[in-house]
Structure 1
Amino acid sequence: MTAPGRGISPYRASDRSDISAFVARARRADEGGVLRVHERDDARVGLWVRTGFDVLATRSVFGSVTPNDVVADAASIAASLAAGDEVLDVGTMPTIAWQGALPGVSGFVHVDDVPAREVIDLARRGAEVARDESGALGMASSLLDQNVLSATGGDVTVDVSMRAVFALTSMGFVRDAAGHEITGDSPIDAIASDEPVRVRASSAWLRLDARFGSVYRRRNVLSLNVS
């Protein structure tokens, strides 16, 4: 059971559904099931997970969380959702289970918008290469580290690696025009032609924003543990 005064309090049924979708994806992305949950200044709760691509993934919902910044257990949240708890249990993960700072909320500039269709196409072509070239240890680092997009806005140019593309699409953050999940069989033209993935950057982070969530990857460093 949730300790008194401890847990996530979503405001609406739709927020519970959004949490459920994110947690389900997060449990596949991180075998340890570790989430970072923090209360923002805009009446929203930010949910974060480390993906298997050395990329952070996040989405936000309306609600509150106590404590206002907690390392949470995805399995506990999922069980609490299934039980219909009003306040969602965040479990008892040790703080050390999440190392490193979250990206700051300021300092990002809008670089460019990329058609969501193009991002999905890149992910599909990358997946085909991965099926052909991956070995017993999984996807080759050479594929994941390959820069597949270059975005320029003003005097800022950033490269987007396959890691970021895979992270964004594997979390289900790009959907079709009706809001449905994109699968391997979904026609590309089911995604609205003007649906964007927004590329933003700070001095330390690359950020891709889709309609249903964002991913962040550190720029010019090898590990997300550096803060």
Structure 2
Amino acid sequence: MGDRVLTADRGERENLAAFLARAVRLDEAAVVRLRQRDDTHLVAWAATGFEALAARVVAGLIRPQDTVVAADGLLGALHAGDEVDPGYAMDSAWRGALPPDEGYVHVDDVPAAALIELARQGAEVAAEHGGPKGPPASLLAQEVLAVDGGGEHVVVSMRTVFALAAMGFVPGADTETAAVDPAELVRVRASRTWLRLDARYGSVFARRGGEIPISVL
């Protein structure tokens, strides 16, 4: 298989496949960035289209330890076995800086059901007032949640809530009744420049006070 290989067991490949399927649903041409986090875990990153990044930790190994590939290609290859060719390198297709691994303070925990309800209400407004290009910019920019704690005051925009819901990171949110366990929480953390929402199945990161800066890997 050469110098490019993803190694993960069946359960972890299924977790990664769920993440990739969501990314491809948001963008058929999505790319995924895979980075080795430690000796046993890697992090998959994808843009969401909502000026936010999504990340999911998977038990496994990736070689090279930081690589970008087509999300749909990797999704199709994950059935091959515990060792998978991740596909052609597309490093130049990744745009935007990754958030740091450390340096966040715990602001507060909020009910996941409340965030999913906000996403549902936002989707209804978008369906009524949106156009060919999607939800109105004013709706996406609307600040729908303010959280204080850890010496920080952070606001969460609708676009970040949409990203969390679209990636399926909250269990139960995809059922017809959106039956999210009332005890299910989303942890809000913040650094000087990044806001992150940590849910059961993954995290969403958004720049505080601006878009993701554009750069080339």
Q: TM-score, normalised by structure 1?
A: 0.90
Query: What is the aligned partner in structure 2 of residue 5 from structure 1?
Result: 3
- The residue type paired with residue 25 of structure 2 is R
Deviation at 1:43, TM superposition (A): 1.6
Query: What is the aligned partner in structure 2 of residue 70 from structure 1?
Result: 67
Query: What is the aligned partner in structure 2 of residue 24 from structure 1?
Result: 21
- The residue type paired with residue 197 of structure 2 is L
**Aligned partners of 2:7 and 2:139: how far apart in 1?**
40
Structure 1 residues 141-190: Cα deviation after superposition (integer angstroms, max 9, x where no partner): 100010100010032100000111000011000013xxxx523x224xx3
Query: What is the aligned partner in structure 1 of residue 171 from structure 2?
Result: 175
Query: Which one of 46, 50, 65 corresponds to residue 49 of structure 1?
Result: 46
Deviation at 1:99, TM superposition (A): 2.2
**Aligned partners of 1:174 and 1:33: how far apart in 2?**
21
Deviation at 1:86, TM superposition (A): 2.8
Residue 88 of structure 2 corresponds to residue 92 of structure 1:
yes
Task: Describe the SS at the equivalent of 2:84.
Answer: coil
Percent identical residues: 46
**Aligned partners of 1:145 and 1:54: how far apart in 2?**
10
> Any residues of structure 2 matched to 1:47-196 within 5 Å, and which?
47-82=44-79, 84-176=80-172, 182-183=174-175, 185-187=176-178, 190-196=179-185
8 Å CA contact 1:30–1:49 kept in 2: the answer is: no
Query: What is the aligned partner in structure 1 of residue 32 from structure 2?
Result: 35
**Aligned partners of 1:224 and 1:80: how far apart in 2?**
31
Runs of 4+ in 1 over 3 A off after TM superposition: none
Q: 1:219 to 1:142 in 2, by over 3 A?
A: same
Query: Which one of 194, 201, 204 corresponds to residue 193 of structure 2?
Result: 204
Task: Describe the SS at the equivalent of 1:132.
Answer: helix
- The residue type paired with residue 64 of structure 2 is P
Deviation at 1:226, TM superposition (A): 6.1
Q: TM-score, normalised by structure 2?
A: 0.94
Deviation at 1:128, TM superposition (A): 0.5
Ranges in structure 2 where 5+ consecutive residues have no aligned partner: none
**Aligned partners of 1:57 and 1:81: how far apart in 2?**
20
8 Å CA contact 1:6–1:67 kept in 2: the answer is: yes
**Aligned partners of 2:39 and 2:191: how far apart in 1?**
21
Task: Describe the SS at the equivalent of 1:138.
Answer: coil
Task: Describe the SS at the equivalent of 2:203.
Answer: strand
Ranges in structure 1 where 5+ consecutive residues have no aligned partner: none
Structure 1 residues 27-79: Cα deviation after superposition (integer angstroms, max 9, x where no partner): 11233221100100252110010011111001011000000000111122122
Deviation at 1:194, TM superposition (A): 1.4
**Aligned partners of 1:132 and 1:97: how far apart in 2?**
34
- The residue type paired with residue 140 of structure 1 is P
8 Å CA contact 1:55–1:224 kept in 2: the answer is: no
Q: 1:29 to 1:136 in 2, by over 3 A?
A: closer
The number of equivalent residue pairs is 216
8 Å CA contact 2:52–2:212 kept in 1: the answer is: no
Q: Over the residues paired in the alignment, what is the CA RMSD in angstroms?
A: 1.6
